[in-house]
Amino acid sequence: MSSDNFLSIGVFALVSGLSIHALRHYDELGLLPPAIVDPVTGYRRYRPEQVRQARLICALRRVDVPIDSVRVVLDDSDGESLRTVLHQHRERLVDRAQVLSRMVRTVDHYIEHGVAMPDLKTPRIVQVTINVTDLAESISFYQAAFDAVFHEEISSFQFGTWPSEEFFLLTVARELNGHGEHDGPAGVSRFGLLVEDVDAAHRRAVDAGAIEVHQPVDKPWKPRSSCVTDPSGNRIDLYQG
């Protein structure tokens, strides 16, 4: 192809809808590399055939589809992943909208009634000990499902930050094959987690590899709750915070 057929980054930005800054960023990420980069000047030039791909990226990023999901769509030559990616992203947006809606209601309450300033107090330490079948799998699950941080030096997952009422330690006693440094319960355990949104947390846990015991349900004697088991069989009760 003659060099006359290539598009400068300025022209490509104009016809694709992506800014020059975005094009440089997507080049760095390997998402949309230019066809040619001049080794002396560093000027980027694109093929006309890349316009369609760039416009797809522009459309997906306009609705905040994550970069990794965009990459999945671009790597799919058959185009079958686009619908799946959009359905998954829609669920994330619905979850986000629900969280924002609750924040708006809270702000409205503050406007009408003021902001309560409770006395600070040191929360009590809450710690539960579990066994796991595969430590690496458990670390991956609790990070993906609950954003828990694993501290290897104390063999514990940390939920929340100290000092706060959300602070909670989930300590791994041993793997069920017998390896491990701590004494713990025999077999699997059961514990509860207070979450901001039971429905969203339940769905996220299942997506991360949990097995559903029962879906979120309302009971007259307790907060809305659900139940799942982690990959090691430990039962987790999720409660609406």
Alpha-carbon distance 12 to 19, whole Å?
9
**1: pLDDT strictly greater than 50:** no
pLDDT digits (tens, 9 = 90+) for 205-221: 999 999 999 999 988 77
Whether omega before 33 lies within 30 degrees of 0, making that bond cis, reads: no
237's enclosing H/E stretch is strand 235-240
pLDDT digits (tens, 9 = 90+) for 108-143: 888 988 887 666 565 566 788 898 988 889 999 998
199's enclosing H/E stretch is helix 198-208
Average pLDDT value for the chain: 86
What pTM did the predictor assign?
Answer: 0.49
Report helix, strand or coil for 43. coil
Taking residues 178-188, what's their average pLDDT?
62
Percentage with pLDDT > 70 across the chain: 88
Whether 46 and 12 have beta carbons less than 8 Å apart is answered as yes
* pLDDT at site 188: 86
pLDDT digits (tens, 9 = 90+) for 25-82: 999 999 999 999 988 888 999 999 999 999 999 999 999 999 999 999 999 877 789 9
Alpha-carbon distance 236 to 170, whole Å?
12
